[in-house]
């Protein structure tokens, strides 16, 4: 019986997270009461899974980070060239980043930025490896280390998400812009970067 209860609890938690994402993207100030009503549960059920609004947002950030990591891995799979691998991985993660981009400002207010960086550490470590590979081959040139460049790239992506949120960049152009901007930061030729940015995934 406990197994059935556990499955039901997991399903409730998943439904609350899915509804919470939709509600917070619609209204970043949505309360736990609003989220509970939208999910069709009582407030006590929401608090049973997430003791605070910050805990709920943190769980959504965990979901986003996991989805980004999976897409990043899938996008570069089977590709040896570091520039192409970076381009493909960015193009793969951008639809996910775009889905969660309105959550970024909210997460930065309620989840410590250090916590977001920690969640993205596995992706960053793989980016360091790709950047170092490109530097070693001579495809990339930069006075910065691969590790420093990985942090630069992370902030570029956050910045572009905020640019879309603020209307400074059309959402439809953001994925390609991310590829060109990231590759430009490692000294990769612009025309070649634009070709990779136009690649389908």
pLDDT digits 0-9 by tens, 9-44 = 788 888 999 999 999 888 888 899 999 999 998 899
pTM: 0.77
Give the pLDDT confidence score for residue 199 in this predicted structure.
Answer: 65
Q: Which of 70, 131, 120, 113 is nearest to 95 (CA)?
A: 70
pLDDT, mean of residues 181-198: 95
pLDDT, mean of residues 102-126: 74
Give the pLDDT confidence score for residue 113 in this predicted structure.
Answer: 59
pLDDT, mean of residues 150-167: 90
Give the pLDDT confidence score for residue 24 in this predicted structure.
Answer: 87
DSSP 8-state secondary structure symbol assigned to residue 78? T
Is it the case that residue 160 has pLDDT exceeding 60?
yes
Angle at 85 between CA 62 and CA 193, to 5 degrees: 110
* Whether 183 contacts 73, CB under 8 Å: no
List the structure tokens of 137.
Answer: 């081959």
Is it the case that residue 3 has pLDDT exceeding 90?
no
**What mean pLDDT value characterizes the chain?**
88
* Residue 138 to residue 135: CA distance in whole angstroms: 5
* Whether 140 contacts 134, CB under 8 Å: yes
- Label residue 48 by pLDDT band (50, 70, 90): very high
Is it the case that residue 98 has pLDDT exceeding 70?
yes
């Amino acid at each position: 019986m406990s197994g059935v209860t556990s499955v039901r609890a997991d399903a409730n938690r998943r439904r609350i997270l899915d509804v919470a994402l939709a509600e917070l993207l619609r209204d970043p100030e949505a309360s736990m009461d609003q989220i509970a009503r939208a999910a069709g549960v009582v407030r006590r059920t929401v608090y049973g899974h997430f003791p605070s609004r910050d805990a709920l947002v943190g769980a959504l950030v965990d979901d986003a980070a996991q989805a980004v990591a999976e897409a990043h891995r899938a996008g570069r799979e089977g590709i040896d060239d570091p520039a192409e691998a970076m381009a493909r991985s960015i193009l793969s993660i951008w639809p996910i980043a775009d889905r969660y981009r309105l959550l970024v400002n909210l997460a930065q207010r309620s989840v410590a930025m250090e916590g977001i960086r920690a969640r993205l550490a596995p992706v960053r470590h793989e980016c360091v490896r790709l950047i170092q590979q490109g530097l070693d081959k001579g495809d990339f040139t930069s006075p910065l280390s691969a590790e420093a460049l990985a942090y630069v790239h992370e902030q570029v992506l956050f910045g572009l998400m905020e640019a879309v949120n603020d209307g400074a960049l059309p959402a439809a152009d953001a994925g390609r812009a991310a590829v060109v901007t990231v590759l430009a930061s490692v000294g990769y030729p612009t025309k070649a970067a634009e070709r990779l940015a136009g690649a389908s995934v």
